[in-house]
Amino acid sequence: MTNTMNVGLVGYKFMGRSHSNAYRQVQAFFPDVALQPVLRTVCGRDTEAVQTFADQFGWESVETDWRKLVVRDDIGLIDVSTPGDTHAAISIAAAQHGKHIFCEKPLANTLDEAKQMLAAVQKAGVVGMVNFNYRRVPAVQLAKKLIEEGRIGKVYHWRAVYLQDWIMDPNFPLVWRLQKNVAGSGTLGDLGAHIVDLARMLVGEIASVTGLTNTFIKQRPVLAETSGGLAAAGGQQMGEVTVDDAALFLARFANDAIGTFEVTRFANGRANYNSFEINGSKGSIVFNLERMNELNVLFSDDPPEVRGFRNILTTDGTHKYLSAWWPPGHIIGWEHTFTHGVYDLLNGIAKGITPDATFEDGLRCQAVLDAVEKSAGSGAWVEPTY
């Protein structure tokens, strides 16, 4: 007999869909999951819209106020899939009521919020996991394994970009992701958080940074009402873009590796190009999310004659999570990373262990982003602290 975990999801747009899919798929493809998720309640402010969503994805009921959701006895796990400005309030309240928490990234809009969130889950003794989903790309897990096994040797270089192009049109409207009061920051929190998190996971802690941020298009058409979706039709009135369109920074890691980071929404033709390269004393690793089923790896101890980057198709059962899916060569999609995360989350809750990325990981990531913002202001190198 399988144990279950009742889930209450807050948010039903892009992330709400991704998370809902993950809860559904984990049941079918990971039957050994320690706790079967029950799609108990989804919460959103617009009753009709949230009910439609619930029907579509199989949520048993709906709620329109997250404050009511987090106090319910029949909910064991609160899933925070809202924009960043409500992460702290929801998570802290959930923790205070003893709920486990699965929170979208970045953990918070400010370093201070992130600290309070970590304190809240620590005090409550609940699982607090941040959904840095790219940790659970099988190819990224392979990269992690190779590094941990010493196959790449001492890491010298980290080189990461996360490039998008969806707001290059000056008529693209002022959606919530372009408003500091809702989103916290622009590319830095949205995309930078991902590659900082990957850098921390794969290389180690970041000791200091210097960077710049830029807003290429400073005014955009105001929306009639805030939409949770990525795209929206613009109106006549113009409003201020209050976040960064791009952020570039250099880093020194605690272990003496050095790194470059770049995030932008102005890289024409790059839809979702999250790519990194790691160079170590014994080898190199290259990853690109748009070809996320592949990892390129070089071992410098291969004989020179047959040395070259190996294009590893990470689709067979030797790769993490893959035995749950399809035969070799049958690629998985982007959303599968969420299913992997939910699988680890539910197993973690069952065992009383917080899977990575923990809220502490979320906080440390936030501290780096905070340091980049400070450096972008001052022009100096800044050490992340919290």
292 binds a second copy (CB under 8 A): yes
Task: Kindly identify the residues of this chain, within the stretch 244-273, that bind a second copy according to CB under 8 A.
Answer: 246, 248-250, 252, 258, 260, 262, 264, 266-273
Q: Which amino acid is at 301?
A: D
336 binds a second copy (CB under 8 A): yes
Least CB distance to a second copy at residue 333 (A): 3
156 binds a second copy (CB under 8 A): yes
49 binds a second copy (CB under 8 A): no
Options 66-74, 155-163, 176-184, 363-371: segment touching a second copy (CB under 8 A): 155-163
Q: Which amino acid is at 300?
A: S
Distances, alpha carbon 184 to alpha carbons 86, 178, 242, in Å: 11, 9, 9
332 binds a second copy (CB under 8 A): yes
Sign of torsion, CA 27 57 93 181? Answer: positive
339 binds a second copy (CB under 8 A): no
Options 15-23, 99-107, 108-116, 233-241: segment touching a second copy (CB under 8 A): 15-23
CB 43 within 8 A of CB 50: yes
Quick one: which of 89, 238, 331, 350 contacts a second copy (CB under 8 A)?
A: 331
182/297 with CB nearer a second copy: 297
Q: What Rg value do the Cα atoms of the chain yield, rounded? A: 21
Q: What angle do CA 342, 348, 353 make, to 5 degrees?
A: 145
Least CB distance to a second copy at residue 158 (A): 10
Q: How far apart are CA 106 and CA 132, in angstroms?
A: 8
**Of residues 336, 360, 345, the one with CA closest to residue 77:** 345
* β-pairing verdict for 246-253 and 206-214: antiparallel
Least CB distance to a second copy at residue 264 (A): 6
| SS3 of residue 327 by DSSP | coil
For residue 130, the cross-strand partners are 103
| SS3 of residue 26 by DSSP | helix
Is the omega angle on the peptide bond into residue 221 within 30 degrees of 0, that is, cis? no
Task: Kindly identify the residues of this chain, within the stretch 165-224, that bind a second copy according to CB under 8 A.
Answer: 165-166, 168, 210-212, 214, 216
52/237 with CB nearer a second copy: 52
Options 118-126, 193-201, 296-304, 344-352: segment touching a second copy (CB under 8 A): 296-304
Task: Kindly identify the residues of this chain, within the stretch 85-124, that bind a second copy according to CB under 8 A.
Answer: none
Options 96-104, 111-119, 279-287, 340-348: segment touching a second copy (CB under 8 A): 279-287
Options 5-13, 153-161, 197-205, 350-358: segment touching a second copy (CB under 8 A): 153-161
Quick one: which of 4, 47, 56, 64 contacts a second copy (CB under 8 A)?
A: 56
Q: Which amino acid is at 335?
A: E
Q: Which residue has the tokens 């924009």?
A: 83
Q: How far apart are CA 65 and CA 43, in angstroms?
A: 7
> How many residues make contact with a second copy (CB under 8 A)?
97
